[in-house]
Amino acid sequence: MTSFIHDMRSAAGADVVGGKGATLMRLAGLGFDVPAFVVVEAAAFTSAAAEAATGAALLVQLTGIGPGPYAVRSSAREEDGSAASHAGQFLSLLNVRAEDVPAAARSVFESGAAESVAEYRSSRQLGADGGAPAVVVQQMVDARCAGVLFTADPVSGRRDRIVVSAIAGLADRLVGGEEDGERYVLGKTSGEVLERPAEASLTDSDLAALRALAFSAEAAFGAPQDMEWAFAGQRLHLLQARPITTSLRPAPIADEVLVVLDNSNIVESYPGLVSPLTFSFAQYAYARVYRAFMRLVGIDAATIGSHAALFDNLLSRVDARVYYNLGNWYRALALLPGFSSNSASMELMMGVSEPLPAELVAAMAAPPQSRFRRTLGMARIGLALAGASLRLGRTKRGFYARLGAALAEPATTLDYKPLTALAAEYRRIEADLLDRWDAPLVNDFLCMIAFGGSRKLMQGWAGEAGLAVHSDIMIGQGDIVSAEPAQRIRAMGKLLGDDPELVAELEAGQGEGLARNPALQQAVRDYLDRFADRCPEELKLESVTLDRDPSPLYKAIAAAAAAGPGHAVERVDPVAALDRLFKGHPLRRAIAGVVLGIAKRRVRDRENLRFERTRIFGRGRRLFRAVGVQFHALGLLDTPDDVFMLTVAEVLGAIEGFAVSHDLAALARLRRAEMAAAATRRDPPERLSLKGAVATVGSAIAPLAPRARDEARERSGVGCSAGVVRAVARVIADPRTGTLKRGEILVARHTDPGWIALFTNAAAIVVERGSPLSHSAIVARELGIPCVVALKGAMEWIADGEMIEVDGATGQVRRVK
């Protein structure tokens, strides 16, 4: 008699073993971990004799696929097909004992004649007769957990998502709709867990295995799959797979263009979530400023114009966080002949975590030029830079004069100007300052070359000792404006004197009692007149400045009073240091002295000119707040602060008449919701490398989740200010809420000038991000505080309150037992 039983190695088609059976055989043949099974043809049940013989043979076959219990399921010809899955239409029986399998197979076969099956086929216009089902008999899995997986989201139709439903034990209750199970959503490309239940039974390694299974199955069948799976211990079994039959969005066209984003250093200026208004203001500023720089160094207008897209996109915004678009930075600066020889200096200045990938560098290589043309171009740029350098003193005086004229009118007058006047004021700032940002640009470029070149020179001539002297000589500029707030706060702490009641008031952020100390009150007024805009996250227009909320200043004064006199900063005698280092090498000594002197002046001027940037952003903040008040009064916004949810173009467009959307309140509500969602997700990595559109990245960031702590005892960052300190670490995420006692070590993810009040009490500083030219490094050197930057993961690695040792010269940080 003909055998109607096929083992899992068979290659029978769906017309013989049904759709499910044929798919399982294909999966087994491709090497997927499918539990052992056999398939009984529907023809076995057409006569009593055939059925009896098949039943006896089936019991023999079961001994070959392993001990029971078994699952007995249907496999109709069109079941698990691309047109209709027939899911749930036929009988499935689980945990069937071996001796009961023949009878169970008969029941499953008979379920093909159920009225519900005919109704299902009719509703989908599949024809009246789909044929009787074959029967799959498969060894049951002793499942730790099981469930279903969709390699695309069947609800939204998105193909960049993997959706997993899981349940403890077998998945029959989940598949049958008796329980909802646990829902997980994974980014298909990133692997990030975008959604998971509060109490999850699947681990990260389980999800990684499921994602790998999804990729393999989809690749094997060439289409998105609906799969059932089960974990037996750590072993992942694929129980069945079928095409997703719901309509999905079209598959996106593959895009191989590599984009590299990095926020290693810019996060110091724009930490955390950044509003649309701030980002658009910064984006415009960068574009206009660097176009001006190219004109300044002699790049012709046609070349600048043809590369407009590069300058307009030097910054990117991912999940409300700001990044440098490194590829565009390199492409823009590569317009300068000879730039490739100075790209390392630019990386040092920008504080990027690693060089660009070779693939991207090769893709944007400049077209070959003759040596003559290349030399001529470098000479032209060199002459322009040399001229700009010689004129730098005069250029700075002109810049400060324009700045003074632009900001001469008290900022409070903006509160009383009509909207058209406010728009005109913004346009004037653009034209008078952003388009003529000459002094900061020239100085920054010279600083990049001088600082990077001097470090390279000192390291090449004297190794680590040379780098140490380089760092020492950069200490003690004496007139860096960024150090002035700390010095003033310490002085105000002394003025506070022995007044416990006023100290308590200031510690609580209250300043009413300042009237009892006129000298201190005047010092506070003077501080606010000069540094009201120097607040935490000062370049974010939405930040609350000290003139609106002076409580952080009051608390810093109280802390300075409690700390007592600060330690004296030991200034390194650069002459003596270089004499010792280059004893017997007078020429090297002379060259090093000149080069280090230039680098020191450029670093000083860079930091001071950045304070002027703060003042301009402060004026912009005040201007846009005034616009928000009037938009709210006109009913255009729900609250005045909603102006920060708009872009500069949207604000000006509403005033000047080129807006493309007039429901500003709806725009603001949408963006507030987006930022609220972004706040629930952890910060994206400091470097993102992706292919194609950047828009797909933001929604692929995982929600906040605890990270495992690294138990290493010692790690290395970049030493920026020499000195060895052993003290208690204080891990602070926000300077407005964190407190630092005198003599503690400040540990932060990033800092900006608004952190200066905490620097006052710090024995040492450890920062996750930054470079030797970061604000934290420069101010730490000025104040004589040991400092280490770029210590990756410091906030998770160092526990708040534990004893650590910091070596600001070598960059070593050690956790002390």
CA distances (Å), origin 377, targets 291, 298, 373: 18, 10, 6
Q: Looking at 440-454, 456-470, 684-698, which range is the least confident one?
A: 684-698
64 is a domain residue: yes
pLDDT digits 0-9 by tens, 268-306: 889 899 999 999 999 999 999 889 888 888 888 999 999
The pLDDT, as a whole number, for residue 346 is 56
> In this structure, what CATH number is given to the domain that contains residue 182?
3.30.470.20
* Residue with tokens 């409300």, as numbered in its chain: 320
Cα maximum dimension of the chain? 112
Q: Which of 57-71, 308-322, 425-439, 760-774 has the highest mean pLDDT?
A: 308-322
* Alpha helices per DSSP H over 642-716: 648-656, 664-679
DSSP state of 40: E
47 in the same domain as 118? yes
Average pLDDT over residues 375-380: 76
Report which of residues 136 and 771 the model is more confident about: 136
Average pLDDT over residues 244-253: 86
Our count of domains for the chain comes to: 3
C-alpha closest to that of 39 among 56, 62, 66:
62
Confidence band of 27 (pLDDT split at 50, 70, 90)? very high
pLDDT digits 0-9 by tens, 619-676: 999 999 999 999 999 999 999 999 999 999 999 999 999 999 999 999 999 999 999 9
64 in the same domain as 108? yes
- Domain of 51, in residue numbers: 5-139
- Residues 329/334/338/344 CA torsion (nearest 10 deg): 30
Amino acid at 689: S
Q: How far is CA 385 from the centre of its chain?
A: 36
Q: Is the pLDDT at 750 greater than 60, yes or no?
A: yes
Residue ending a domain, among 243, 271, 290, is 243
* Alpha helices per DSSP H over 297-437: 301-306, 308-312, 326-333, 343-350, 358-363, 371-390, 392-406, 419-432
Average pLDDT over residues 700-718: 68
Backbone φ and ψ for 512, nearest 5 degrees, come out as: -60, -35
Confidence band of 127 (pLDDT split at 50, 70, 90)? low
CA gap 98, 114 in Å, rounded: 26
111 in the same domain as 190? no
C-alpha closest to that of 244 among 120, 156, 340:
156
> In this structure, what CATH number is given to the domain that contains residue 741?
3.50.30.10
Sheet with 70-75, side-by-side order of all strands:
5-7, 37-40, 134-139, 70-75, 93-96
Q: Is the pLDDT at 336 greater than 90, yes or no?
A: no
Report which of residues 215 and 471 the model is more confident about: 215
The pLDDT, as a whole number, for residue 214 is 95
DSSP state of 495: H
134 in the same domain as 153? no
Confidence band of 157 (pLDDT split at 50, 70, 90)? very high
Q: Is the pLDDT at 85 greater than 70, yes or no?
A: no
105 in the same domain as 170? no
The pLDDT, as a whole number, for residue 478 is 61
Q: Which of 115-129, 226-240, 635-649 has the highest mean pLDDT?
A: 635-649
pTM: 0.76
How many other C-beta atoms can be found within 10 angstroms of the C-beta atom of residue 28?
19
Q: Is the pLDDT at 751 greater than 60, yes or no?
A: yes
Confidence band of 1 (pLDDT split at 50, 70, 90)? very low
130 in the same domain as 192? no
CA gap 652, 277 in Å, rounded: 11
Token pair, residue 486, equals 């700390």
Average pLDDT over residues 67-90: 70
Amino acid at 700: A
The pLDDT, as a whole number, for residue 125 is 46
341 is a domain residue: no
